[in-house]
């Protein structure tokens, strides 16, 4: 039944499920073609990966910023190591009782060697005459021009006189009964010295200055 200006269909206003799906789908399809419409969500930011040029530029800025200070520190460390002091270990029985058989850490300085200020009684670090890749820790008992009283080989005892050549040193261990030194390989060239031992660092109970002992001289009268 139709009345004036009003639809009397009892199903008026009801949307069939298929029609509802079609309407929604149509809205979605149509919205894809809308231009100029604003999304309620902010646009996604594009993630840019670092390029080789950018990484190089960053590294270069760091070098320019910290390079001069790093260079100065490197030079200082090199000067201290080559011309100042360094730590080494004196290991073995040849320097008993001054140093322990199990090994003592000591400080070694090079200035005395450079200034030719090595005296009789000083303890020095030298390259090994028998194996230059190794070093030895011995006491200086003679300098160039000195005449040394050296025990003769064999069981008959006695001593023999040996003159130390110019530019050489006579090195011996404090434990003369168990030391391979100048009595075996002869005078050591001064250029093989690596420094003078002046301080014992370890063990802690024996920390202190390493003294020169001139009384150990083996010079002839």
The predicted-structure confidence for 169-193, as pLDDT tens digits, reads as follows: 999 999 988 999 998 899 999 999 9
pTM exceeding 0.75: no
**Could you tell me the pLDDT band of residue 129, with boundaries at 50, 70 and 90?**
very high
Q: What integer best gives the mean pLDDT of the chain?
A: 76
Beta bridge partners of 139: 123, 172
**Could you tell me the pLDDT band of residue 122, with boundaries at 50, 70 and 90?**
very high
Percentage of residues in the chain with pLDDT exceeding 70? 65
What pLDDT does 197 receive?
A: 95
Q: Which two tokens stand for residue 2?
A: 């139709």
Residues 39-74 have pLDDT tens digits of: 555 565 555 556 767 777 777 777 777 777 777 766
What pLDDT does 177 receive?
A: 87
**Does the structure show a pLDDT above 60 at 14?**
no
200 catalytic residue (yes or no)? no
94 catalytic residue (yes or no)? yes
Q: Which two tokens stand for residue 136?
A: 């030895």
Set 138, 182, 196, 200: catalytic member? 138
What pLDDT does 106 receive?
A: 93
- Nearest CA-CA partner of 118 in 218, 194, 174: 194
Q: What is the mean pLDDT of residues 80-104?
A: 86
What pLDDT does 85 receive?
A: 83
- Which domains are present in the chain? 88-216 (2.10.109.10)
Set 94, 126, 179, 182: catalytic member? 94
């Amino acid at each position: 039944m139709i009345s004036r200006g009003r639809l009397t269909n009892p199903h008026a206003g009801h949307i069939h499920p298929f029609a509802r799906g079609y309407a929604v789908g149509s809205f979605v399809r149509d919205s894809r073609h809308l231009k100029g419409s604003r999304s309620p969500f902010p646009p996604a930011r594009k993630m840019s990966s670092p390029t080789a040029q950018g990484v190089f530029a960053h590294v270069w800025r760091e070098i320019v910023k910290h390079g001069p200070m790093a260079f100065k520190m490197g030079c200082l460390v090199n000067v201290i190591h080559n011309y100042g002091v360094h730590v080494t270990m004196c290991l073995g029985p040849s320097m008993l009782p001054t140093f322990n058989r199990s090994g003592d850490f000591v400080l070694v300085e090079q200035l005395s060697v450079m200034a030719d200020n090595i005296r009789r009684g000083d303890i020095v670090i030298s390259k090994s005459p028998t194996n230059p890749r190794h070093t030895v820790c011995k006491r200086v008992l003679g300098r160039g021009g000195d005449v040394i009283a050296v025990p003769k080989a064999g069981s008959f005892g006695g001593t023999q006189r040996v003159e130390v050549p110019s530019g050489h040193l006579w090195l011996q261990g404090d434990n003369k009964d168990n030391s391979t030194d100048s009595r075996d390989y002869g005078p050591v060239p001064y250029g093989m010295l690596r420094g003078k031992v002046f301080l014992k660092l370890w063990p802690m109970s024996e920390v202190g200055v390493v003294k020169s002992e001139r009384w150990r001289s083996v010079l002839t009268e």
